[in-house]
């Protein structure tokens, strides 16, 4: 099956007027009890196929011997509900009773297999009764005859044509139910493997719950809707299509996942094969666009190029704003070594939010998050340890992947990863270039006049204007007395512009107290992100052998990030 092969459309028939019911069924689903579904299903298949040796189309699984007492007990309980309490108009209530109170602690496939087994007990008894009654025999079995009389079945038993028609219609319906059960067993097995670590998508869980509900409903109503079996057949047919679509999709995702494993374990002449699996065509349209211009981009544009995959959730507005500013600076200076591609991973897609993020990006991004298939996302998570934290994955022209970066390095260095260097090597390069000084914090955020003597740079912050006035007055006195050259830089502590910040900016401008980093330029955001990154990445990697006084001051600054009243300052 090719990755872009479409599945058959899901019928609307199942989705009418049942959303509230399915939601309730999902809420009561608390699976923790076990039952050997394959052994049970093999017994049921023999009963319903009227064949001692039959195991027709029973999926491969674990088979036991005999019948555990627990399974027999629950089957008897469900059989009683089906046989004693069900009438045509009562089927919905009985279905909910079974799913909510009798079977809530079993998996979806177990719920259905147990219900099918319970139906098989009732059906098997009826079948045996017809065999022993045998109306064509002038001397029918007296026990069977009197049981039929007590059950008010004598009229049916003695009408051979009606009995034949009834068995024919029910047999076809039973075959369809068995197919549905087989699909659900296969789907549960594949889902258990595929979603072993991660929760299955809500749509998958809902469709499985919907299929289980209606299959149980049909089994309950078979005996009460003998004149409307075609309606039940239509319902079962809809369930089959729904589950077949889910199976096809799940098999397809497993194939995509396995394909990526194989591709990344092979050296290629170029990266096209990998990129085509990651970014399939979207309804005949190229899968990529340039974010802020919406210009369509074919995969060929990345062929033989160094590609940097930016993989993130949709909750990354501040990061994208800051990265876009940095990218623009680096591009102007000719320091972009990769073709950057944004790959959003989202359980729920908010179109307006996605479009807003995309409009900020001067680089490539996928046309829509739905292009990134679950099989690809599974690979990201299992092989690249992607969770919710944004990562950068360098992909070489030969399809090989360099070690993964987080954005810590980008914020700390003010550059994107360097081709050919390991992340630790990039860090060492950064530290050798700037050392453990204030320059490491502000080297690309604040530019000094190189024609003048190097000034003392004083970073300060806070939201108390009175404190700011006192502090800057004291600094100016020091400048007057010492004749030192000092640059004052105000660092915003808030990550959103508000009236307090605006008042401070106006105060600094009016008093000519140096410069400020406002939020729109993202310098303050990058400053704090950089400071945090140096601690979270540089120190944790053991790159810095010890923490000196400068580092202690940085730590004090970091602890003051959330301060709103007191001021903070860092002088170098």
Ordered structural domains, the chain, with CATH: 13-256 (no CATH), 274-419 (3.40.30.10), 435-571 (no CATH)
pLDDT value of residue 471: 86
How many whole angstroms from its chain centre is CA 340?
23
The top-scoring range by mean pLDDT among 27-31, 432-436, 454-458, 543-547 is: 27-31
252, 255, 259, 260: CA torsion to nearest 10: 70
Helix (H, G, I), strand (E, B) or coil at 531: helix
Q: Does 547 have pLDDT greater than 50?
A: no
What is this structure's pTM?
0.72
* pLDDT tens, residue by residue, 322-343: 899 889 989 998 888 899 999 9
Other CB atoms closer than 10 Å to residue 451's CB: what's the count? Answer: 5
pLDDT value of residue 512: 82
Q: Are 98 and 74 in contact (CB under 8 A)?
A: no
Sheet holding 339-344, edge to edge: 295-297, 288-290, 364-366, 339-344, 307-312, 391-395, 405-406
Q: Are 274 and 399 in contact (CB under 8 A)?
A: yes
Q: Does 276 have pLDDT greater than 90?
A: yes
* pLDDT tens, residue by residue, 386-426: 988 999 999 999 888 988 888 877 877 778 887 776 666 55
Mean pLDDT along residues 139-145: 75
- The burial of 429, by beta-carbon neighbours within 10 Å (0-12 exposed, 13-18 middle, 19 or more buried), is given as middle
Mean pLDDT along residues 265-292: 90
Confidence of residue 66 (pLDDT cuts 50, 70, 90): low
Other CB atoms closer than 10 Å to residue 373's CB: what's the count? Answer: 20
pLDDT value of residue 283: 81
pLDDT value of residue 562: 42
Q: Which two tokens stand for residue 227?
A: 């004149």
Q: Which residues are paired to 295 by β-bridges?
A: 290
Output the CA angle 291-295-298, nearest 5 degrees: 100
Q: Does 278 have pLDDT greater than 60?
A: yes
Instruction: Write the secondary structure of 93-141 as one string of H (helix), E (strand) and C (coil).
Output: HHHHHHHHHHCCCCCHHHHHHHHHHHHHHHHHHHHHHHHHHCCCCCCCC
Phi, psi for 487 (deg, rounded to 5): -105, 125
Q: Which of 324, 195, 320, 348 is nearest to 257 (CA)?
A: 195
DSSP state of 54: -
Confidence of residue 123 (pLDDT cuts 50, 70, 90): confident
Q: Which two tokens stand for residue 532?
A: 């945090």
Output the CA angle 361-367-370, nearest 5 degrees: 120
Cα-only R_g, the chain? 34
Q: Which of 405, 381, 400 is nearest to 306 (CA)?
A: 400
Q: Which residue has the higher pLDDT, 351 or 515?
A: 351
pLDDT value of residue 213: 92
Which H or E element spans position 163? helix 160-194
Q: Are 439 and 527 in contact (CB under 8 A)?
A: no
Other CB atoms closer than 10 Å to residue 437's CB: what's the count? Answer: 11
| Distance between first and last Cα of the chain | 63
DSSP state of 489: E
pLDDT value of residue 564: 39
Q: Does 444 have pLDDT greater than 80?
A: no
Q: Strand (E) positions, 24-169?
A: none
Phi, psi for 506 (deg, rounded to 5): -65, -40
Q: Are strands 307-312 and 391-395 parallel, antiparallel or unpaired?
A: antiparallel
Q: Which residue has the higher pLDDT, 17 or 407?
A: 407
pLDDT value of residue 165: 65
Rounded Cα distance, 60 and 385, in Å = 33
Confidence of residue 5 (pLDDT cuts 50, 70, 90): very low
Confidence of residue 85 (pLDDT cuts 50, 70, 90): low
Q: Which of 373, 379, 343 is nearest to 261 (CA)?
A: 379
The top-scoring range by mean pLDDT among 64-78, 116-130, 486-500 is: 116-130
The top-scoring range by mean pLDDT among 108-112, 137-141, 165-169 is: 108-112
């Amino acid at each position: 099956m090719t990755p872009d092969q479409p599945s058959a459309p899901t019928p609307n028939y199942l989705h009418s007027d049942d959303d509230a019911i399915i939601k309730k069924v999902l809420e009561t689903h608390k699976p923790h009890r076990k039952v050997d579904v394959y052994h049970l299903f093999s017994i049921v298949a023999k009963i319903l196929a009227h064949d001692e040796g039959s195991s027709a189309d029973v999926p491969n699984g674990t088979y036991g011997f005999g019948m555990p007492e627990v399974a027999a007990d629950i089957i008897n309980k469900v059989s009683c509900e089906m046989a004693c309490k069900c009438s045509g108009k009562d089927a919905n209530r009985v279905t909910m009773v079974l799913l909510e109170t009798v079977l809530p602690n079993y998996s979806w496939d177990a719920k259905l297999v147990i219900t099918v087994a319970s139906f098989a007990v009732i059906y098997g008894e009826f079948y045996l009764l017809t065999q022993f009654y045998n109306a064509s025999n002038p001397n029918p079995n007296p026990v069977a005859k009197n049981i039929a009389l007590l059950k008010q079945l004598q009229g049916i038993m003695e009408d051979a044509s009606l009995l034949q028609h009834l068995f024919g219609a029910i047999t076809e319906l039973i075959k369809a139910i068995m197919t549905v059960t087989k699909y659900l067993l296969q789907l549960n097995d594949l889902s258990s493997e595929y979603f072993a670590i991660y929760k299955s998508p809500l749509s998958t869980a809902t469709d499985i719950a919907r299929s289980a509900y209606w299959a149980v409903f049909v089994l309950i109503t078979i005996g009460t809707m003998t004149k409307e079996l075609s309606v039940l057949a239509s319902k079962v047919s809809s369930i089959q299509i729904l589950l077949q679509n889910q199976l096809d999709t799940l098999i397809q995702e497993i194939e995509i996942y396995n394909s990526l494993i194989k591709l990344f374990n092979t050296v290629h002449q170029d990266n096209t094969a990998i990129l085509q699996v990651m970014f399939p065509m979207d309804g005949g349209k190229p899968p990529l666009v340039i974010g802020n211009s919406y210009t369509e981009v074919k995969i060929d544009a990345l062929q033989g190029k160094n590609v940097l995959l930016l993989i993130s959730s949709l909750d990354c507005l501040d990061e994208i704003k800051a990265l876009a500013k940095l990218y623009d600076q680096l591009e102007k200076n000719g320091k972009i070594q990769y073709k950057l591609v944004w790959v959003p991973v989202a359980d729920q897609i908010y179109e307006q939010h996605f479009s807003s993020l995309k409009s900020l990006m001067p680089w490539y991004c996928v046309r829509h998050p739905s292009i990134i298939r679950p099989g690809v996302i599974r690979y990201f998570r299992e092989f690249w340890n992607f969770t919710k934290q944004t990562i950068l994955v360098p992909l070489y022209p030969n399809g090989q992947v360099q070690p993964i970066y987080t954005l810590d390095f980008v914020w700390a260095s003010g550059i994107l990863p360097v081709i050919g260097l390991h992340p630790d090597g990039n860090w060492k390069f950064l530290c050798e270039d700037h050392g453990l000084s204030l320059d490491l914090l502000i080297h690309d955020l604040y530019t000094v006049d190189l024609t003048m003597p190097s000034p003392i740079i004083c970073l300060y912050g806070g939201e108390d204007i009175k404190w700011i006035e006192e502090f800057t007055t004291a600094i100016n006195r020091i400048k007057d007395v010492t004749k030192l050259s000092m640059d004052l830089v105000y660092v915003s502590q808030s990550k959103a512009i508000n009236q307090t910040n605006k008042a401070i900016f106006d105060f600094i401008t009016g008093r000519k107290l140096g410069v400020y980093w406002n939020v729109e330029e993202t310098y303050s955001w990058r400053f704090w992100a950089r400071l945090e990154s140096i601690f979270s990445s540089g120190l944790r990697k053991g790159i810095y052998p010890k923490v000196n006084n400068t580092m202690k001051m940085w730590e004090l600054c970091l602890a003051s990030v959330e301060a709103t009243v007191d001021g903070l300052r860092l002088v170098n």
